[in-house]
Chain A
Amino acid sequence: MALIQFTDKGLYCAEGNFYIDPWQPVDKAVITHAHSDHARWGSKSYLCHTFTKPLLQQRLGDGNYETLEWGQPVFINGVKVSLHPAGHIIGSSQIRVERNGDVWVVSGDYKTENDGISGEFEPVKCNTFITESTFGLPIYNWKKQADIFIDIQNWIKDCFEKNANAVIIAYSLGKAQRIIAPIAEVTSNIHAHGAVWNIFQTLKSSGFKFPDINRIDIDAPKEKYKNAVIIAPPSAEASLWMRRFTPFEVGVCSGWMQVRGNVRRRNIDAGFALSDHADWNGLLQAIEATEASKVFVTHGFQSAFSRYLNEKGIESAEVKTEYGNDEDAVEGN
């Protein structure tokens, strides 16, 4: 029997009797990271990275959480499990599962460029690799983070020159943490939507250091926001909530911004292709580094990507999961 099976509740290790990122409540869930499509409500116990725990608590409330450090092995019913940095967001981990020398790695979401806060992606050798493929097409080649930050900074300065506020749409867990330092180099007048602000608070109380930001006060007079940067989650885009910042321009941070049509369709002023997922080459390099003899592809362009791997001589198959959603996903990417 395969060490990990694909069931209707999620990825399941029968021998160890645990699930990885299950989308239905189970007894024991091992969690790659705190995004809502991976960490769902209702399981009896959760095992995750130390940094992930406070984020899970914030999202899912009190419960039974156990934590691990990266590289610290634990045995679950005789199956060896360890976590390894995935570079996606704070706490995000690949999950390595080993039994009788058979090693499987579940990537969760990952990116190969070191963003300086999420931990550097660690290639883990294995027999079978289960990889995401959110941006698994060769049109996705990211610019370097440092260069994108310069683009963002220049855009903010342009906004200020026009006396407009700069509203930056960034996912509250992940992108918001990455862009805050470069923004702070331009201005200290930074305000965040409640959802974003809450995540920062949680991370700060677990010891992470970030520049100071203000929580947006719904009752504050409009004049309060002048030459300010506003960080808001995708759900706030094009909402009435944004009106109070008039005049403003909107910039969106998302890998989907790589394609011009997506920028234009959303009727925004600027798009920054800043992603928390690996680009095409990142995916290929990561897969090669695992030296895996079999690769399962989920979460994105799985059919095109696995076909390509097969043609390159890497045995591969696509797997349907309930992570993300290839056609509608905008948040978190």
Chain B
Amino acid sequence: MDEMLTYGEDVNEVPMQVGGMSLFAELIMSLGTSTKTNDKLEALSNYFSVAGDKDKVWMIAIFSGRRPRRSVSAALLQLWCLELVNLPQWLFAECYLTVGDLAETISLLIPPEIMVPKEEQPLHYYIEQLIGIEKQSEEVKKQFVIDSWRQMNQQERFVFNKLITGNFRIGVSQQLMVNALSKVTELPAATVAHRISGNWDPVMTTFSALLHESNSDDSKPYPFYLAYAIEGEPAELGLPHEWQAEWKWDGIRGQIIKRNNELFVWSRGEELITEKFPEYHFLKDKLPDGIVMDGEIISGRQSDEGFVVLPFANLQTRIGRKNISKKQLQEAPVIFIAYDLLEYNHEDWREKTMQERRTQLEQIVADLQSSEVFLSPIIAFDMWAELAATRVTARLINSEGVMLKRKSSAYQVGRKRGDWWKWKIDPLTIDAVMIYAQKGSGRRSNLYTDYTFAVKDGDKLVPFTKAYSGLTDKEFGEVDYFVKRNSLEKFGPVRTVKPELIFEIAFEGIAASNRHKSGVALRFPRINRWRKDKKPDEINTLDDLKQMLEQYGK
């Protein structure tokens, strides 16, 4: 009866305590350096198959944004570290500048000599202690942190500090974690993704409860189905009539859920934002029970032809605020553009075809007769060329382009190729000169990778945007080389550089701004390419920017 023992239910109940903080630290290190997705998947699955039950739960919690609240400030960590290693503050600053990460700087500064090896504690021990000291005195916190530092090796210390200070930027998507869990638990990825979403408390749940009990949490959203950008020509997708085209909106992707007469609004970032949008609260009374809609939370208002969408900047005034004033509600009204129906009559509808889901969604939205909830309009087209012609008008209605969805497609999990594609309009671009440079952080802590760009205004240069990504590592190296040899002045970490390097800056939108010298704020600015072919006097002017503002900024 060996098999019964091996595969029986009881296996999950046996408290396993294999590996501790060191196992977790090793996982973080290997995720941080591995360059191949497969290696990362392997490392994660390996962790999930050997780590202790509670550690696994915390691991899932941390990497799905459920970190416990910060109980110790960065300033205190720095202070205690300096006391412990007896170094002057300026030297710490110097080290921090070189390392680019506080948690790592501290972990490196504590020399092995002062380590007092102790029996290893598991990950959950440290997290629970950190939660426990939140309301304690500074002395208690200090004692715990210093004791922990001394018990750990450098890697563990780094990870421990990261638990306190903030995000692990280690290049693991939630999707990858879901795949690893799916591999280990032999559950379908969609099931795993759904079970680890929503409201759950890592302190209260166990690994098997989280993954194996279909849970009764009414608020739980479904994992979003996301589209890749289309590669090549849409005509390669096949026959136009198999596809449904909709506008792509630039708001917050969200799910509206009503279950057991409670209303929940989730953002794609898995944040429960019900309170932020009083516009939706009437849905608690008007929606049928047991329903989940996917759509876009967006600033806009009803109009003669349905609705108009306002620039993203309007929505921004609503995000990050606890209390919304009447004035804000009036100036930045919010609507919901419904894309899809994921649950209806308490049933999971994701496997049905999009056409079926859409038909039902149309009925639901029509019944609401609301000035806040709208159907995502379908763009009619018979030929791809026709759709292409419509697509270029997107910016005029504050849309980012077109979405293509196969009519027969199911609602899938995560970013998938094949059935859904986004076909964005080309970004706006402007040629600008680099005038300030600053060292990057983390991965690029020793290179100048953060730049500020300027346009011409007569014989003056007016800074108008920063832009971070978009260059290859090799190009970053070249720019870095230039900056180090052509800097004019130094202001703290920022260097003023000779205005010689020209870049094409791409962006998705433009809005008026009185916080910026240039009078404009860009949406998603990034470096499109290095214009080595251009000279500084060939860059665009402030007038060019203002003209774009006139045309697209309304």
Residues of A within 8 A of B (CB): 137-141, 258-265, 267-271, 281, 301, 304, 307-308, 311, 327-328
Contact B111 A264 (CB under 8 A): no
Q: Which single residue of chain B is at the shortest CB-CB distance from A261?
A: B445
Q: Kindly state whether residue B362 has any CB partner on chain A within 8 Å.
A: no
CA distance A33 to B392 in the complex (A): 66
Contacts of A263 in B (CB 8 A): 32-33
Contact B112 A141 (CB under 8 A): yes
A-B contact pairs, 6 of them (CB 8 A): A137-B98, A261-B444, A265-B447, A269-B35, A308-B91, A328-B484
Q: Kindly state whether residue B443 has any CB partner on chain A within 8 Å.
A: yes
Q: Given A138-B85, A139-B108, A262-B446 in contact, is the A270-B33 Cβ separation under 8 Å?
A: yes
Q: How far is the CB of B469 from chain A (nearest CB, A)?
A: 14
Q: Could you tell me the dominant secondary structure of chain B's interface residues?
A: helix
CA distance A260 to B112 in the complex (A): 18
Contacting residue for B95 out of A138, A265, A307, A311, CB 8 A: A138
Q: Kindly state whether residue B305 has any CB partner on chain A within 8 Å.
A: no
Contacts of B99 in A (CB 8 A): 139, 259, 261
Contact A269 B444 (CB under 8 A): no
Q: Kindly state whether residue B50 has any CB partner on chain A within 8 Å.
A: no
Report, nearest first, the 8 A-B pairs whose CB atoms are least far apart.
A139-B108, A261-B445, A264-B443, A139-B95, A304-B94, A261-B443, A265-B443, A141-B111
Contacts of A139 in B (CB 8 A): 95, 98-99, 105, 108-109
Q: Which single residue of chain A is at the shortest CB-CB distance from B110?
A: A141
CA distance A73 to B253 in the complex (A): 78
Q: Considering residues A138, A259, A261, A262, which has the most beta carbons from chain B within 10 angstroms of its beta carbon?
A: A261
Contacting residue for A268 out of B33, B105, B443, CB 8 A: B33
Q: Which single residue of chain A is at the shortest CB-CB distance from B92?
A: A138
Residues of B within 8 A of A (CB): 32-35, 85, 87-88, 90-91, 94-95, 98-101, 104-105, 108-109, 111-112, 158, 441-447, 473, 481, 484
Contact A265 B444 (CB under 8 A): yes
Q: Which single residue of chain B is at the shortest CB-CB distance from A312?
A: B88
Contacts of A281 in B (CB 8 A): 111
CA distance A141 to B108 in the complex (A): 8
Contact A260 B104 (CB under 8 A): yes
Q: How far is the CB of B83 from chain A (nearest CB, A)?
A: 14
Contacts of B445 in A (CB 8 A): 259, 261-262
Contact B95 A137 (CB under 8 A): yes
Contacts of A138 in B (CB 8 A): 85, 87, 91, 95, 108-109, 111
Contacting residue for A260 out of B35, B101, B484, CB 8 A: B101
Q: Which single residue of chain A is at the shortest CB-CB distance from B96?
A: A139
Q: How far is the CB of A141 from chain B (nearest CB, A)?
A: 5
CA distance A85 to B34 in the complex (A): 39
Contact A269 B33 (CB under 8 A): yes
Contact A259 B443 (CB under 8 A): no
Q: How far is the CB of B183 from chain A (nearest CB, A)?
A: 18
Q: Given A139-B105, A261-B445 in contact, is the A267-B35 Cβ separation under 8 Å?
A: yes
Contact A327 B101 (CB under 8 A): no
Contact A259 B33 (CB under 8 A): no
Contact B33 A261 (CB under 8 A): no
Q: How far is the CB of A242 from chain B (nearest CB, A)?
A: 14
Contacting residue for A265 out of B90, B473, B481, CB 8 A: B473
Contacts of B447 in A (CB 8 A): 265
